[in-house]
Amino acid sequence: MGYKDAQWRKSMELKLDYNNMMVDYIGEEQGFTAKDFADNKKVIASAFNTVSENKGKGMMGWTELPFNQKDIVADILATAKDIKKKFDNFVVLGIGGSALGPIAVFQALCHLRHNELPKSKRKAPKLYVEDNVDPERMTALLDVIDINKTMFNVVTKSGATSETMSQYLIIMDILKKKLGDKAKDHMIATTSESKGNLIKIAKEEGLKTFYIPDGVGGRFSELCPVGLLPAAVVGIDIKQLLAGAAHMDKICRSKDIKKNPALISAFLEYLAMQRGKNISVMMPYADSLKYIADWYCQLWGESLGKAVDNEGNYVYVGQTPVKALGVTDQHSQVQLYREGPFDKVITIIAVENFRSTVNISKGCENIPDVSFLCDHTMNELINAEREATEYALTTAKRLNYTITLPEVNAFTIGELLYMFEMETAYAGAMLNINTFNQPGVEGGKNATYALLGRRGYEETKKEMDNAPKKNPDYIC
């Protein structure tokens, strides 16, 4: 059976257990009640209606991605097939949503040591996602790849992203010097079809191009060519990924909050924010899901951290997203979560069935503190540790809930990504903010442009030059 089978799809549905957010389990001081749900019926209904009415419109074009890309997917699959035949490496040049989504899906669905496998086992190019402008990183990349056997994918909707375009300039210069007219055969552009600098450059250089729809912002772009092309190149079933997202979309059409996991998780986080819980911790218990937490941090933080509401009132809302990894961060962060301030909600991601089983060997029979592990599996151990963390948080009256994946595959990852996107949209509607803009990001961008002498930012440069000089007394 596969994702085209209704029974299989049903068996792969995510489960959301929010018992440990409720008064019955963590007590009256911290827990939520049925009355909280009843008192906020209008807030819930309004958020559901706002999101439903705007699906496919404006910057909610991402809601159409599971359904409207048949021809695009065919083009991506054909391109990926050609890349697999000709190249040993596939390098994504991008930042933010152009990088975090591809990294998260690659980590989730490929062999955890993909790049270290011999090509005969990989059966796909190595994937590198270059999401920073640290000069040592660029040098290190060039030390480990053969330009002649590498395809680059430059990803920026505007073509004005300084970090990405600096990478493009460096790599294209190298390609032209080494390959001459064949440089264009080693670069694919993913950008806006109708505006921006990169589409102009792509046409001038004769680059193969994929398009980011106008209604899809960077942090919501993983299910368009931004994420689908790298995924297809490394052998991920992108049709199944989109099918999982489509299935979650169907589930999220329910007005009944108890049948809509994205709506209920958004409401729980909204309630938590109203009570000063301004930190949202994402803690998957699987290495394959480690970078889902990184992707979530951008989605949640950039979408909900807003100074003003839709009426222009200063509200300064949002939650600070924090990434953690179970079991690793039980040994670094859980001490704080269990005994520190009551300012957090912890979202645990569980996996029922891992893709491999590892038995714990016999030994150390004379040391009871070690030998109790024998005859168990690492699968049992990681899930026992997850349950133990959940129990420890709950007995300390700390808000936490668990999302469970039956297994990690392209379908369930599609579900999970889309659920988080819908949760974010619902939460933004509850907070009465513009979920899809990012004015706070522009300040840093504009200052960078001014420092590097970009035309049009002369006034910003003057402002920076006239800013108070640093006091040496405050430097030690």
Positions annotated as catalytic residues are 302, 331, 445
For residues 169-204, one letter each, b for 16 or more C-beta atoms within 10 angstroms of the residue's C-beta and e for the rest, the string is: eebbeebeeeeeeebbebbbbbbbeeebbbbebbee
Q: Which secondary structure element, helix H or strand E, spans residue 271, and what is its range? A: helix 261-274
Alpha-carbon distance of 57 to 80, in angstroms, equals: 30
The phi, psi pair for 92, rounded to 5°, reads -90, 125
CB 98 within 8 A of CB 217: no
Alpha-carbon distance of 406 to 24, in angstroms, equals: 27
Alpha-carbon distance of 451 to 462, in angstroms, equals: 10
CB 418 within 8 A of CB 110: no
* Nearest of 51, 25, 103, 11 to residue 297 by alpha carbon: 103
Alpha-carbon distance of 390 to 287, in angstroms, equals: 18
Give the residue ranges of DSSP H helices in 154-256: 162-179, 197-205, 225-233, 238-251
* Nearest of 386, 391, 423, 425 to residue 404 by alpha carbon: 386
Alpha-carbon distance of 256 to 261, in angstroms, equals: 10
> Cβ of 319: how many Cβ atoms within 10 Å?
22
Burial of 385 (0-12, 13-18, 19+ CB in 10 A): middle
CB 354 within 8 A of CB 379: yes
